[in-house]
Structure 1
Amino acid sequence: MRIVPVELGKDSYNIYIGNGLGEKIADFCRQGSFSGKGLIITDTNVGPLYGEWLSGLLRQGGIEAEVYEIAAGESSKSLAVAEDLFTRCIELGLDRKSPIFALGGGVVGDLAGFVAASYMRGVPFVQVPTSLLAQVDSSVGGKVAVNHRLGKNLIGAFYQPKAVFMDLNTLSTLPKREIYTGLGEIIKYGIIYDNDFFRYLEDNPEPVLSLDNEAALHMTARSCEIKAEVVSQDEKELGLRAILNFGHTAAHAIEKNTGYTRYNHGEAVGIGMVCAAHISQALGMIDGASVERVIRLIEALHLPIRAEGCTVDQLYGDIFHDKKTVGGKVKWILMDGSIGTVTGRNDVPEAVVREAMGKIV
C-alpha cells in the first residue's frame, strides 16, 4: 500500500492506494469519532458491484450506512438530485458526525461532497473512488460541486475529505473507455509538472493501457503526489492550483456543447490539451515538436484529438462561462518552454484562440 499525505493543516488527510483496502477502511471507521449512522452515495453502475462490499466494511467499523444509488451519468450532478439526498439524510436522522461516503466516479464524488459540505453546514466526508479518473483527479483536493444548466461545476465549495481510499481491485471492472478517460488526466500531470512521468507514459503504452498492477500503482500514486503537492500549496485555487486546469478551459466548453453525453471528462480534456498546446505554440511558448509529442501520446492512449459536433463559434462563446474567467478575461493554462512546465495567461488574443479551436473541430 502507498500512502500519499495531503498537507492542509487541520484539514490534512491521507490517500491510501493499494489492493484490498477493506481492513484499512474498517479500521478507519473504528478509529474515527463518527456517529453510528452514515450514508453511502453511489450510482446505478457501481452500487450493484461494490455497495454491499463497502456497507459491510463500515458495519465492521461500527457504522450502519444505507446505500443510496443515483442514476449513473453527469445529469445526476444537479441541485435537484442534491435536494433528494438532503431529504434522505434528514429522514435517516443523520447528525453532524454522520459520515457520508462517496463510492464511485467523479460525478458521485462531486455530488456526495457537495451534500456533505452543505448538510448541517458540514458532515464528515470520505472518498472511495472506483474509476481511474476519479482516483487521479476529482477525489483529491476537496473541490465539490453540482452543475448548472449554464455551465459545469458552477455551484460548489472547497471541502476536504477525511480520507481517500483507492482500492485498485475496483479498476478490474472498468470498461476500456473508462480506463482511457482516466489516462487523459494522467497525461495532464506529466505535461504540467513532471517530464519524466510524461516520458514513462510514452515508453510504456502497453502496461499503461492494460492497467498492469505495477503501472496502475505508479500512475495513480504519482498523479496523486503531484496533485497533493499543488493543493497543499494552494488549496483555494488562488494561484498555483490553477495549473491543474490545463486543457480544461476548452474541455468544459466541449462537454457543454455536446450535452455532456458525447465525450466523457477525460476525453474532453484530451482534446482541450491539444487546443492549449496549439495556443502555446502560436504564442511562441513551445516548439512544434512538443505539440507533436502531446498529440502522439493522447492518440496512443486511445483518446480523441478532435471535438466532433462542435463549432469554433460555440466553443469560443462558452469559454467565458468558465470559472477561471474573471472580468471577461479567460485565464488559459499554457505550456511554457518544455513538457513539465506551464503558466497562466489571460492575454491570449481572440484570433489565436479561434485558430487553435479550428484545429480541434
Structure 2
Amino acid sequence: MNSHLSSTTKIEVSTSKESYPIYIGRGLEYALKSEIEGLARSGSKVAVVTDSSVRAVLCRFFDSALGELPILEIPFGETSKSIVQYERVLDFFASNGLDRGGVAVAVGGGVIGDLTGFAAASWLRGIRFIQIPTTLLSMVDSSVGGKTGINIAAGKNLVGAFHQPIAVYEDLNLLASLPSRDFCAGMAEVMKYGMLADSDLFEMLERQPLTDSRDHRLGSVVERNCQTKANVVNADEKELTSSGGRALLNLGHTFGHAIENVAGYGEYLHGEAIAVGFVAAARLSADFGYIEQSDVDRVVKVVKAHKLPDQLKSPLKLDALFSAMQKDKKVRSGKLRFVVLESIGRAITKDDVPLEKVEEVWRTVGGID
C-alpha cells in the first residue's frame, strides 16, 4: 500500500468534553501502527473487532497495521448489529483482559463501527476506541460523530449510546476492494451533505457523478463531508436542539430506516434505502411548497446517476411502514419529525406532518401493499 502514499489531512472534531482527530489520506497503516504501539507502551491492552469479509479482503492491512493484536471476526452484514453479536464483543473484551485503560479498534463499515463503539461505551461503563472505516459510507458518515448502537426487532439503532472515538483513520486505499454497489451506496451519504448543506457539492455530482474509488476527486469529497459533519456535531453533539442541528443529518432517514425495517435488514443496503428516502423527502418538501418539482427531478437524477434506486423494489405494507416510523428515534411527543428541503443545500426540521401527506409520498416512491 505504501506505493499510494499521499499527504494526510487532519480534521478535528471538538465536543463539549473531548476532541479527536480524523486522518484522511492513503497509506495510513503506518501512522495507525505507531499510535497502537504507543498505546501498548503505555500499558493499554488493545483488541480489534472486524467482520469476516473485511478480514479476508484486507489481510495485508491487518498484518502491517495491527500485527499480533487479538481479533474478533463478526459475520458480515446488517444483521450483525444485534444483541447476540454485541454480547460476543463484550465476551471478547473480557477474555482479552481489557480494563478501563483498554482500547477497542473497529475495522469495517458502519455495522462494525456502530457495534464496536456501543460495546466500548458499555464495557466497564466506557473504554476508548478507534474507528478505521473501510467503506465510503462509514468514512463520510457513521464513523464520525460518536453515534453507536445496535438494531432490535422494533427498529434500527434504537439501542445505543453517544461515545466518541479517540481517533478515526480514513485510508482511501481501503476502498479499492469495495464492490461497486457498496461504493455507490456510500455516495448516498455524500449526496445527503450536498442536499442539506453544500449546494456546490450537489451541483458537482450533477455535472459528473462520482462512482469509482479511483476518481481523483474522492479525497477532497471525503474531507468536505467529514468537515461538514464535524461542524454539525461540534454544535449539537447529542441532537438536543429543538429544531435543525444534528437532526438535519437524518435527511431521508425516517423513510429509509422504515424501508430497511419492513423489507428486512439486508434487503436494501443502507445507502440504497436512504436514496429512496431522499426522493420521498424531496417530494414531501415539494408538497409543502418549499421546493419546486424541478428540484425533486434534480434529486431523482443524481440518485439514478449514482446507480441508486429512486423507487421501492416492491410494495411494502403501509401499516408496517407507519409503525416503523413511529418507533424512529426522531419522534417527539408521539409526533413524526421529518427533515425537509427549503432548497438544494438548505434543510430544516418539520414536526407534526399530516399522515395523509406521508402516505401519498409512500405511494409516489413505488406503491404500498
Using the size of structure 2 for normalisation, the TM-score is: 0.93
Alignment of 1:113-152 (within 5 A): 113-152=117-156
Q: What is the DSSP-based 3-state SS (H/G/I as helix, E as strand, rest coil) of the residue aligned with 2:58?
A: helix
* Aligned equivalent of 2:355: 350
- The one-character-per-residue Cα deviations of 1:287-310 (angstroms, maximum 9, x if unpaired) are 111111111000111000111232
Compute the displacement of 1:268 (Å): 0.4
2:283 to 278, 282, 291: 278
Contact 1:55 1:67 (8 Å CA) reproduced: no
Take 2:262 and 2:14, find their aligned partners in 1: how far apart are those partners?
37
Task: Provide closer, same or farther for how the CA distance between residues 356 and 125 of structure 1 changes in structure 2, counting only shifts above 3 A.
Answer: same
Take 1:103 and 1:242, find their aligned partners in 2: how far apart are those partners?
27
Task: Provide closer, same or farther for how the CA distance between residues 55 and 111 of structure 1 changes in structure 2, counting only shifts above 3 A.
Answer: farther
Root-mean-square deviation (CA, aligned residues, Å) is 1.5
Take 2:167 and 2:86, find their aligned partners in 1: how far apart are those partners?
22
Instruction: Verify: 1:177 aligned to 2:148, yes or no.
Output: no
2:169 to 149, 165, 175: 165
Contact 1:42 1:51 (8 Å CA) reproduced: no
Q: What is the DSSP-based 3-state SS (H/G/I as helix, E as strand, rest coil) of the residue aligned with 2:69?
A: strand
1:223 to 209, 225, 246: 225
Compute the displacement of 1:29 (Å): 2.4
Instruction: Verify: 1:38 aligned to 2:46, yes or no.
Output: yes
Compute the displacement of 1:261 (Å): 2.0
2:292 to 287, 310, 321: 287
Of 183-192 and 313-322, the range deviating more from structure 2: 313-322
* Aligned equivalent of 2:36: 29
- The one-character-per-residue Cα deviations of 1:75-124 (angstroms, maximum 9, x if unpaired) are 11111111111112111111111110000100000000011111111111
Of 248-257 and 309-318, the range deviating more from structure 2: 309-318
- The one-character-per-residue Cα deviations of 1:179-228 (angstroms, maximum 9, x if unpaired) are 110011110000000100111111122xx112234211022111111100
Take 2:110 and 2:351, find their aligned partners in 1: how far apart are those partners?
28
Take 1:190 and 1:146, find their aligned partners in 2: how far apart are those partners?
27
1:328 to 317, 331, 334: 334
Compute the displacement of 1:241 (Å): 0.2
1:53 to 61, 77, 89: 61
Take 2:106 and 2:26, find their aligned partners in 1: how far apart are those partners?
18
Compute the displacement of 1:276 (Å): 0.6
Take 1:282 and 1:136, find their aligned partners in 2: how far apart are those partners?
30
Which letter maps to 1:321?
A: K
* Aligned equivalent of 2:4: none
Alignment of 1:218-297 (within 5 A): 218-239=220-241, 240-297=245-302
Compute the displacement of 1:10 (Å): 3.8
Contact 2:86 2:115 (8 Å CA) reproduced: yes
Of 123-132 and 208-217, the range deviating more from structure 2: 208-217
Of 167-176 and 315-324, the range deviating more from structure 2: 315-324
Q: What is the DSSP-based 3-state SS (H/G/I as helix, E as strand, rest coil) of the residue aligned with 2:138?
A: helix
Number of equivalences: 354
Take 2:321 and 2:70, find their aligned partners in 1: how far apart are those partners?
41
Which letter maps to 1:143?
A: K
Q: What is the DSSP-based 3-state SS (H/G/I as helix, E as strand, rest coil) of the residue aligned with 2:255?
A: helix
Of 5-14 and 164-173, the range deviating more from structure 2: 5-14
Q: What is the DSSP-based 3-state SS (H/G/I as helix, E as strand, rest coil) of the residue aligned with 1:307?
A: coil
Q: What is the DSSP-based 3-state SS (H/G/I as helix, E as strand, rest coil) of the residue aligned with 2:158?
A: strand
* Aligned equivalent of 2:196: 192
- The one-character-per-residue Cα deviations of 1:127-159 (angstroms, maximum 9, x if unpaired) are 000011111111000000011111110110000
* Aligned equivalent of 1:341: 346
Runs of at least 5 residues in structure 2 that lack an aligned partner in the other structure? 1-7
Take 1:81 and 1:212, find their aligned partners in 2: how far apart are those partners?
34
Identity of aligned residues (%): 41
Kindly report structure 1 stretches of 4+ aligned residues shifted beyond 3 Å.
Answer: 30-36
- The one-character-per-residue Cα deviations of 1:38-97 (angstroms, maximum 9, x if unpaired) are 1110001001223563354244xxxx5211100001111111111111112111111111
Using the size of structure 1 for normalisation, the TM-score is: 0.95
Take 1:31 and 1:7, find their aligned partners in 2: how far apart are those partners?
23
Instruction: Verify: 1:107 aligned to 2:125, yes or no.
Output: no
* Aligned equivalent of 1:4: 11
